Amino acid sequence: MQLARALDVYLRHVTIERGLSEHTVAAYRRDLDGYVAWLGGEGIVDTAEVTAAVVGRFVAERAAAEPPPAATSLARLQSSVRGWHRFLAREGVEADDPSGRLRPPKAPRRLPKALTIDQVERLLAAPSAEEPVGIRDRALLELLYATGARVSEAVGLDVDDLAHGDVLRLRGKGSKERIVPVGSFARVAVDAYLTRVRPSLAAKGRASSRLFLGLRGAPLSRQSAWLVIRSAAERAQITSEVSPHTLRHSFATHLLQGGADVRVVQELLGHSSVATTQIYTHVSVDTLRDIYATSHPRAR
């Protein structure tokens, strides 16, 4: 099958049949567009011409690039290539999978960074409670911390997703839905936004069911949500790095530090495997170690 056609078939598959998010599909497209361009430079125009040696040469060249790619980036690229070839072999487009022996590089283990409870409180209080944009921003931040939602999940919320009172319906990766509680602080902040701010924002644009709207009435984007978080961090004078995932990391870490069961946290975060959630237990252990080192008279 021609490379361009095979790539189009695969991207339709991950979009429609697997239900992957627009962001994830875009990442696959970027990786595989580069791979297809490289194959074209090698004179390869059909998937039947791709061999294990060709795949190995591509990965080796990418690994030797200057500046060297991060292990995580290289691992993601290899995952994209393997996913495509595995799909073509499974669908009978090709006789075998030339990427079958490909092994991703071992990425360095990175623990998520969480804010302290004091830092979170300063961050949540940073937006002005008197200005319309500040009321919206505070509602967004409170909801992120209260539910552990990904930023993409938060900006994808509809007003009707809040119709169940003190719980919220989130749509995560692979279009999987989960129900999470909403604390009283977040509910108060969101109610203030819904009654005092959202109607005027909605009147500026086309009718939208999205919960969070921008200044012109359009749904709030992921990029705009990131700017909200960064601006709040600056106003709160938080010097450590604050990323879109920071409140999600803080949500999980503070729950575990408070005694929550790891499987409950797994359910709240929407992780398919408890192993993904268990990385947060190491953060809690580090905290205990620090407290021990500073408090016990014979710790040193």
> How many other CB atoms are found less than 10 A from the CB of residue 163?
10
Q: Is the pLDDT at 105 greater than 60, yes or no? A: yes
Q: Write down the domain spans for the chain.
A: 3-90, 117-243
Spatial separation of the C-alpha atoms in residues 277 and 275, rounded to whole Å:
5
pLDDT in tens, 106-121: 655 566 678 999 999 9
pLDDT in tens, 34-88: 999 999 999 999 999 999 999 999 988 988 888 878 777 888 899 899 999 999 9
Spatial separation of the C-alpha atoms in residues 249 and 25, rounded to whole Å:
24
pLDDT for position 299: 56
Q: Which CATH class for the 3-90 domain? A: mainly alpha
Spatial separation of the C-alpha atoms in residues 71 and 7, rounded to whole Å:
25
Which residues contact residue 48 at a Cβ distance below 8 angstroms, ignoring those fewer than 6 apart? 1, 94
Spatial separation of the C-alpha atoms in residues 255 and 264, rounded to whole Å:
9
At the topology level, CATH places domain 117-243 in hpI Integrase; Chain A (1.10.443)
Q: Is the pLDDT at 251 greater than 80, yes or no? A: yes
71-90 and 3-12 are packed helices; what angle lies between their axes, rounded to 10 degrees? Answer: 100
Cis peptide before 244 (omega within 30 of 0): no
Spatial separation of the C-alpha atoms in residues 118 and 122, rounded to whole Å:
6
**Backbone region of residue 298 per phi and psi (left: phi > 0; alpha: psi in -120 to 50; beta: other values):** alpha
- Structure token digits, residue 81: 């290539």
Q: What is the dihedral of CA 67, 73, 78, 80, to 10 degrees?
A: -130
pLDDT for position 172: 76
The percentage of residues in the chain with a pLDDT greater than 70, rounded to a whole number, is 88
pLDDT in tens, 265-295: 888 888 877 777 777 766 555 655 665 666 6
Which amino acid is present at 29? R
- Structure token digits, residue 14: 């991950």
Q: Is the pLDDT at 211 greater than 90, yes or no? A: yes
C-beta of residue 82 within 8 angstroms of C-beta of residue 52: no
If DSSP states are collapsed to H, E and C, what string results for the chain? CEHHHHHHHHHHHHHHHCCCCHHHHHHHHHHHHHHHHHHHHCCCCEHHHCCHHHHHHHHHHHHCCCCCCCHHHHHHHHHHHHHHHHHHHHCCCCCCCCCCCCCCCCCCCCCCCCCCHHHHHHHHHCCCCCCHHHHHHHHHHHHHHHHCCCHHHHHCCEHHHHCCCCEEEEECHHHCEEEEECCHHHHHHHHHHHHHCHHHHHCCCCCCCECCECCCCCECCHHHHHHHHHHHHHHCCCCCCCCCCHHHHHHHHHHHHCCCCHHHHHHHHCCCCHHHHCHHHHHHHHHHHHHHHHHCCCCC
Q: Does 206 or 33 have the greater pLDDT score? A: 33
pLDDT for position 287: 59
What amino acid positions are annotated as catalytic residues?
A: 150, 173, 245, 248, 271, 280
Q: Is the pLDDT at 174 greater than 80, yes or no? A: no
Spatial separation of the C-alpha atoms in residues 184 and 142, rounded to whole Å:
10
pLDDT for position 106: 61
Spatial separation of the C-alpha atoms in residues 94 and 1, rounded to whole Å:
8
